[in-house]
Chain A
Amino acid sequence: SQQGEEDPQALSIQEGENATMNCSYKTSINNLQWYRQNSGRGLVHLILIRSNEREKHSGRLRVTLDTSKKSSSLLITASRAADTASYFCATHEDYNQGGKLIFGQGTELSVKP
């Protein structure tokens, strides 16, 4: 079962612009993670934000988490053509759930040179 919605489903921007993707989820979480997937290949972990954190940065990535609204956003600044990929949020509900991640439907990002 999917955790929630990602918005938008697809996003097309020019190189140098910023890209913002949103994710909503349904249950209480331990942490929320963002992954990137290039053209049907494996997932690459980008960033993890814990339920007691509100914002986190990693290079050109900025993630926010609002647990009251059960939502998160991923901002990619100064995008590059190499950022073209699908981006997924995934929630980890609690440690008793072990490694189980629940993924959103994903946002397909296209960055045009």
Chain B
Amino acid sequence: KAGVTQTPRYLIKTRGQQVTLSCSPISGHRSVSWYQQTPGQGLQFLFEYFSETQRNKGNFPGRFSGRQFSNSRSEMNVSTLELGDSALYLCASSLPGDIQYFGAGTRLSVL
């Protein structure tokens, strides 16, 4: 069974641009969660999608958004990038009430 796949693995953007990250969950998993990891703030929850609906949202500005498609694949978008958005973005998928399986992450650098 394939694991959680995140694309791209690395991304370099400049301030003010926008970016879209993609996550393909494990087959059969309908819950997808996104996390941001930075050296200063650690691992922080961004949002969770289940059956194409946002079920949970962390404390991030509206520049951070996401969506989930009918095949459970999810994307997250960050608009008007800031230097502080440089981070490792992790996606996780799970069955209801089960443990989360994480992808390898997308490392975003904002210059």
B72 to chain A, nearest CB (A): 13
Decide yes or no whether B73 CB sits under 8 A from chain A: no
In the bound complex, CA of A111 to CA of B98 (Å): 31
In the bound complex, CA of A79 to CA of B101 (Å): 24
In the bound complex, CA of A88 to CA of B45 (Å): 14
Residues of chain A within 8 A (CB-CB) of B50 are 98-99
Decide yes or no whether A43 CB sits under 8 A from chain B: yes
In the bound complex, CA of A90 to CA of B37 (Å): 14
With contacts A40-B88, A42-B105, A98-B50 taken as known, whether A103 is within 8 angstroms of B43 at the C-beta atoms is yes
Cβ-defined contact, A43 with B42, below 8 A: no
With contacts A45-B99, A88-B43, A103-B42 taken as known, whether A98 is within 8 angstroms of B48 at the C-beta atoms is yes
Cβ-defined contact, A98 with B42, below 8 A: no
Cβ-defined contact, B31 with A98, below 8 A: yes
In the bound complex, CA of A98 to CA of B56 (Å): 7
B99 CB contact (under 8 Å) in A48, A97, A98, A104: A48
Cβ-defined contact, B90 with A43, below 8 A: yes
From B43, which residue of chain A is reached at the shortest CB distance?
A: A103
A33 CB contact (under 8 Å) in B31, B35, B45, B99: B99
Cβ-defined contact, A98 with B55, below 8 A: yes
Cβ-defined contact, A100 with B48, below 8 A: yes
B85 to chain A, nearest CB (A): 16
Decide yes or no whether A101 CB sits under 8 A from chain B: yes
Decide yes or no whether B92 CB sits under 8 A from chain A: yes
B35 to chain A, nearest CB (A): 8
Cβ-defined contact, A106 with B42, below 8 A: yes
**What are 18 contact pairs spanning A and B, CB under 8 A?**
A1-B59, A2-B41, A33-B99, A40-B88, A43-B90, A45-B100, A45-B102, A88-B43, A98-B31, A98-B33, A98-B48, A98-B55, A99-B55, A99-B94, A100-B33, A101-B45, A103-B42, A103-B44
- 9 smallest CB-CB distances across A and B, nearest first, come from A103-B43, A43-B102, A42-B102, A42-B104, A99-B33, A98-B55, A99-B48, A100-B56, A99-B31
